[in-house]
């Protein structure tokens, strides 16, 4: 089950074009944990059993749709409160609306922070 969930997470995150989701291992692990906690566990104790279980998971279309649904919901939840530690994480970079700009003029300075304009 873990493999199917991780593959789905990777597929969705890599296809995402709006940079809403991070690519770091911690982000994907948090998403996987949320998804796996919502799915019925499927265990195998041998190599043959794990192959049969994986085949059963991959051939169950309803389960695949459920996994994708849970992955999308979990991606949104984790993105709302990420625990990323990677220095190049998109959640740690300054957002466009959080950048503070300062314009100094003869009459004083004008600072723009997000949607607020402050005069000094």
62-103 confidence digits (pLDDT tens): 999 999 999 999 999 998 888 887 666 766 655 444 444 444
How many angstroms separate the CA atoms of 17 and 107, rounded? Answer: 43
In the chain, what percentage of residues exceed pLDDT 90?
Answer: 35
Q: Where are the alpha helices (DSSP H) in 16-60?
A: 25-38, 47-59
* Whole-number pLDDT of residue 114: 44
pLDDT band at residue 18 using 50, 70 and 90 as cut-offs: low
Sign of CA dihedral 99, 94, 70, 7: positive
Write down the mean pLDDT value for the chain: 78
Model pLDDT, residue 112: 45
Residue range 17-44: average pLDDT? 87
* 3-state class (DSSP) for residue 29: helix
For residue 15, give Cα distances in angstroms to 12, 20, 23, 49, 85: 5, 11, 11, 31, 22
Q: Above 70 in pLDDT, residue 118?
A: no
Q: At residue 6, does pLDDT exceed 80?
A: yes
What are the C-alpha distances in Å from 33 to residues 11, 93, 98, 100, 104?
17, 25, 30, 36, 49
Number of Cβ within 10 Å of residue 30's Cβ equals: 21
Distance CA 54, CA 43 (A): 10
The average pLDDT across 27-39 equals 94
Asked whether residue 26 carries a pLDDT value surpassing 70, the answer given is yes
User: In the chain, what are the domain boundaries?
Assistant: 2-89, 93-120
Predicted TM-score of the model (pTM) = 0.67
| pLDDT attached to residue 115 | 44
């Amino acid at each position: 089950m873990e493999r199917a969930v991780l593959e789905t997470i990777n597929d969705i995150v890599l296809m995402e074009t709006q940079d809403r989701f991070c690519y770091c291992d911690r982000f994907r692990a948090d998403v996987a944990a949320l998804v796996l906690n919502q799915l019925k566990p499927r265990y195998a104790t041998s190599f043959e059993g794990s192959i049969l279980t994986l085949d059963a998971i991959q051939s169950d279309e309803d389960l695949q749709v459920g996994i994708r649904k849970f992955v999308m919901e979990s991606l949104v939840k984790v993105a709302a409160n990420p625990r990323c530690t990677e220095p190049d994480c998109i959640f740690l970079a300054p957002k466009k609306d959080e950048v503070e700009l300062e314009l100094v003029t003869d009459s004083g300075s004008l600072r723009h922070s997000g949607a607020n304009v402050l005069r000094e």
